[in-house]
Amino acid sequence: MAYIGNTPAEFYQTLEKQSFTTSATTTYTLNFSVTNPQEIALFINNIRQNPNSSYTVSNLTTLTLSSATSSSDVMYAVFLGKSVGTIGVPAGGVGTSQIIDANITTAKIADSAVTSAKLASGLLPTNTPAFEAHLSSNASFNTNTSTKITFDTEIYDTDSKYSTSTGKFIPAVAGKYFVYTSVTTSAGATNNVVAKAQIYVNGSAVIISSFNFTGNYISQHVAIAQGVLVLDADDEVEVYGRCLTSDGASGIFEAGNRSTMFGAYKIIGA
C-alpha cells in the first residue's frame, strides 16, 4: 500500500553520538565527516543548539562554536547523517566498487588531467613505427634507369619494420606516414644532368622529385623526395634512384655522411 510522507524504514538503526571534553575553546574535531551543520544535532547542557548561528562545520570534521564552552559544560553531538543519509559525500566515502565503469566519461575528466604516466604503454601516442636507414657504401647505377636502393645500415628501427636485406618498409600498422628520402648521385656527365629520388609503394612510384643540373657538374647531384602517404598495414614502401646523363655515363649513389638515406614515421593521431 502507499504511504503519506516518508516510507517506514525496513530496519532499525541507531544514531552515532559523540561526547566532547569541553574547555574554553570554540573549535572541536568531529569523529565523522559531515558536509553541513544540519547533519548533526549539537547539545550543550542538554539544550539543542541552532545550526549555523550557534555552530558551523568546515573541512568535513571541524566543528566551530559561536561562543566558547567552559570546562563545566556538557556537550555532545548526534550524527543525523549516519541514519537518514546525507547529500554530500564525505572524503573517502566512495570506493572503486561504487563507481559504474560506464559513468566515467570524458566529460568527467578535466583537460590535461591524464598524464602519460597513467597510460599503458600500448595506449601512449607515439610516432611509431619509425625508422631511418642509409647506405654504408656506394652503389652503382646505369644512366636513365630507375634503380632500387637497398639501404643496408639502420640508424634506428622502432618496430623492426624496415628490412636492410630487401630495402622495404612494411609498417604493419595502417595510418598516415611521413616518408622521406635523399638520393645523392655522382656521374661523369659534363652537362644536362637530371637526378631523381623516387618513393614507391607496392611497385609503383607515388612521389618523384627531380633536380636538374645544366653545365659542367660532375658529382653530388642531390634529389630529395618526401610527403605524407596513407598506408595499409601490408604496403611495401621502397626507394629508387635515377640519373640521366647527357653522355650516357653510369655512376654511383653516394654513401658518405648519410647522403643517400631513407626514413619514415607514423603521424600521431592519424
Same domain, 140 and 87: no
Q: Which of 132, 208, 120, 126 is nearest to 173 (CA)?
A: 126
Tell me which of 33 and 12 has the higher pLDDT.
33
Instruction: Give the pLDDT score at 259.
Output: 92
| pLDDT score of 74 | 95
Do 238 and 153 reside in the same domain of the chain?
A: yes
Pairwise CA distance, residues 238 & 169, whole Å: 7
Q: Which residues contact 55 (CB under 8 A, 6 or more apart)?
A: 37, 42, 49, 63, 64, 65, 66
Q: Please give the span between the terminal C-alpha atoms of the chain, in angstroms, as a whole number.
A: 61
| pLDDT more than 70, % of the chain | 82
Whether 59 and 174 map to the same domain: the answer is no
At residue 103, the pLDDT reads: 77
Least confident window among 6-10, 26-30, 165-169, 233-237 = 6-10
* In the predicted structure, residue 20 carries a pLDDT above the cut 90: yes
Number of domains in the chain: 2
d(CA 236, CA 159) in angstroms, rounded, equals 15
Residue 122 lies in a domain: no
Tens of pLDDT, residues 120-137: 766 667 899 999 999 999
How far is residue 55's CA from residue 234's CA, in Å, rounded to a whole number?
Answer: 72
Question: Of 91, 117, 139, which residue constitutes the final position of a domain?
Answer: 91
pTM, entire model: 0.57
The boundaries of the domain holding residue 74 are 1-91
CATH code: domain of residue 214? 2.60.120.40
146 and 243 together in one domain: yes
Tell me if 142 is assigned to some domain.
yes
Amino acid in position 217: Y
- 159 and 60 in a single domain? The answer is no
d(CA 243, CA 188): 11
**142 and 259 inside one domain:** yes
| Structural domain contains residue 114 | no
Which pLDDT does position 137 carry in this prediction? 95
Least confident of 70-79, 93-102, 148-157, 233-242: 93-102
State yes or no: pLDDT of 182 exceeds 90.
Answer: yes
Quick one: how far is CA 226 from the chain centroid?
27
